[in-house]
């Protein structure tokens, strides 16, 4: 089992503290080209009570699925098999689907217009993934 490094995303909070956003039942769209990372994400999401309802390992496949995917959140790698995820991210963002970028890239490398989107840096742990999801879902409230 790999060891992951925790990097804080900062809390999603209010004047009264951190919102206890329940992640149970969230339907996720995951795009990741590395099979081991994809399996790890699927396992971690299940541990958080989320369900992966759509997954893809190629941008063209993800782009075909993105317009109609019945999901609550998307977890996207930025570089998928040497192809940037930008067109998929744009489709999902236009639909109001909250996005978490799960990537080794820094914020300036995120797709245009989405630099402020939640980002979980690889390598990651369960707590960091949960924080990224809570941030994305919390920011996405009221958009759909």
Locate the domains of the chain by residue range. 25-140
Residue with tokens 């299940």: 46
The CATH code of the domain at 25-140 is 3.40.50.2300
Cα angle 110, 113, 118; round to 5: 55
What's the whole-model pTM score? Answer: 0.81
Strands 51-56 and 27-31: parallel
- Reduce the DSSP state of residue 101 to 3 states and report it: strand
pLDDT tens digits for 34-54? 999 999 999 999 999 999 999
pLDDT tens digits for 54-70? 999 999 999 999 999 99
Residues 55 and 30: beta-carbon distance below 8 Å: yes
| CA-based torsion, 117, 74, 121, 130: positive or negative | positive
Of the pLDDT bands very low, low, confident and very high (cuts 50, 70, 90), residue 112 is confident
Provide Rg for the chain, Cα atoms: 14
């Amino acid at each position: 089992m790999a060891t992951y490094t925790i990097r804080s995303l900062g809390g999603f909070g209010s004047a009264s503290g951190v919102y206890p956003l329940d992640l149970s039942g969230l339907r996720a769209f995951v795009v990741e080209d590395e099979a081991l990372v994809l399996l790890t994400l699927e396992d971690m999401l299940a541990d958080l009570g989320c369900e992966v309802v759509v997954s893809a390992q190629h941008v063209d496949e993800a782009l075909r699925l993105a317009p109609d995917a019945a999901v609550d959140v998307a977890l996207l790698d930025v570089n998928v098999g040497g192809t940037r995820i930008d067109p998929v991210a744009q489709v999902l963002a236009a639909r109001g689907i909250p996005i978490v970028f799960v990537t080794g890239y820094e914020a300036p490398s995120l797709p245009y217009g989405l630099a402020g989107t939640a980002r979980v840096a690889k390598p990651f742990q369960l707590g960091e993934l949960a924080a990224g999801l809570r941030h994305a879902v919390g920011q996405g409230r009221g958009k759909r």
